Amino acid sequence: MEKNNNKPRLNGTLEDWLRAQLVTQAGWFKARPTLIDVGAYHGDFTACFLGKTDLCQAVLFEPNPKNFVEIGKRFAGRSEVRLESAACDVQDGEREFFCAGETYTGSLLPYGTATPTPVERSVVPCIMLDRYLTQYQLLDKIGLLKIDTQGNDLRVLQGAAAMLQASRPWIVAELINVPLYEKQAWPHELASWLAGRGYAMAAQFNEYYTGDGWLAWSDACFVPKELMERFNEGFLGRPIASTPKPRRTIWQKLFHK
């Protein structure tokens, strides 16, 4: 892959920032070429990076059957992509899955607020990442772990503690600051748990706010603390970002009645 002197994009999305980081930190990812995408939806995140950086193989987990069909179409014939029609959790087994309206809002956690459409319930298989990655000899080969499980991210991480120690991957997770799901992990809980495993938050992007001006959710990247012990001199102010495109219409309906 051609290397360049890309600087981190501070006025775009987390994906823009991360794409530049994957180039400047290429040495880190060459030894860890696997991307894990938990809550893959339609595979958009994986498509941003797979084959365009040193990440050359991916495993995608998606429990919603409608989303899984779309992923299958998108990555058909791609031998470097493994697709799993399952959720990830702190242990293997089966759990009830809840989805109302847009399919990206589905979760192993019940909704904690009223929904604009009836909640559909199903039972889905759940996979513990440590067990799965050990089975496929990938435990120490993960460079990037992305989790978007609508409040269940901490339980996914708890099921991947051995992998975090063996691979030290970068972690992209959704932080939810408002009560959307029952027993959801709050940002401080997730950050505290990761801090105990030697991780620190390196970036926060894609912030959304309620009509009252409260932070509702955002995407964050956590990296091993050993990478943050050294950094370039000088500090950059973040430019004012352009208005993000709406992508979670169900929550807009809930907060703007």
- Averaged over successive runs of 10 residues, the pLDDT of the chain (257 residues) comes to 56 88 89 96 94 93 94 96 97 95 88 90 97 97 96 97 97 96 96 97 93 94 90 73 51 48
pLDDT confidence of residue 240: 65
Task: Determine the Cα–Cα distance for residues 156 and 171; give it in Å rounded to an integer.
Answer: 12
Instruction: Name the superfamily (CATH) of residues 14-255.
Output: Vaccinia Virus protein VP39 (3.40.50.150)
pLDDT tens, 171-186? 999 999 999 999 999 9
CA atoms 240, 245, 251, 255: torsion sign: positive
pLDDT confidence of residue 1: 35
Q: What are phi and psi of 214, to 5 degrees?
A: -90, 140
pLDDT confidence of residue 174: 94
